[in-house]
Chains A and B, each alone.
Chain A
Amino acid sequence: MNMNIATTPPSPLTTHVLNTAQGVPGVNMTISLHRLNPISSEWYLLTTGKTNDDGRCPGLITKENFIAGVYKMCFETGKYWDALGETCFYPYVEVIFTISDSSQKYHVPLLLSRFSYSTYRGS
């Protein structure tokens, strides 16, 4: 994703991947954001990206595109651990969540090890 960081407002939806087994950010993990089309029940791909050295993925969505609805964040956890030479119980993690008020900020992090994960709604 090419972005002019100086002029692009921050995404209202953010994430952060933490490798809790090693106590480090989850770097270079592929993430994709999707929105559910309520009429067709199909997922529409909005963005793909990789986490940076801090485990974050700025620029997930613009304020204009961030409408109320059901979203899915997909984390390629299997490939992440594979790149570290390890297996993982979870080939990927999908977090499906509902945005009812798109004027708020939402933070959807993933705290991950090879055999466990957790997520929460932050702001």
Chain B
Amino acid sequence: FLACKRLQGRIVDSVFALRFIAMGSSAKSSSPITTHVLNTGDGVPAARMALSLHRLDPRMAIWNLITIGWDGRCPGLITSDAFTPGLYKVRFETGQYWESLGQSSFYPYVEIVFSVSDADQSCHVPLLVSRYSYSTYRGS
């Protein structure tokens, strides 16, 4: 639970629907938000990269933690019921990932903040990352 420890200071009391997704779990892949992390430096999926999904509470201007994941492709990030319009953030623990491979990285973590206006559409928010670059795009 290294990622949990690091995120400890960021978990707020008003968190609701907190979900932990273990690696290899059979969680539904019908989450309206999906992600996929690719290690473009080595040309492999980024297995065992910790990540977390957050939603902005606009009234309190704080980020609420929704899910913590442990795998580069993390099914079950959010349920359809919980998926409402608003600002979301996926945080990828890239520094920890490269450290576990014995390497340094320019980016200690990557946060991708995105806006959902239509909760009927699904959002794919992938991360293509190397030690010195990253990119993302909106897929569906």
> Chain A: residues with CB nearer than 8 A to chain B?
41, 70, 78, 87-98, 100, 111, 115-121
Contact A94:B106 (CB < 8 A) given known A115-B138, A118-B135: no
Number of A-B contacts (CB under 8 A): 58
Asked whether A119 and B87 contact (CB < 8 A) given A90-B112, A97-B106, the answer is no
- B residues near A (Cβ < 8 Å) are 9, 87, 95, 104-115, 117, 132-138
B114, A90: Cβ atoms closer than 8 Å: yes
In this complex, what residue of B is CB-closest to A99? B106
B135 — nearest CB in chain A belongs to which residue? A118
Residues A116 and B113 in contact, CB atoms below 8 Å apart? no
- Known A91-B87, A96-B111; further 15 A-B contacts with Cβ < 8 A: A78-B115, A89-B138, A94-B113, A96-B107, A98-B108, A100-B104, A111-B135, A116-B135, A116-B136, A117-B135, A117-B136, A117-B137, A118-B134, A119-B133, A121-B106
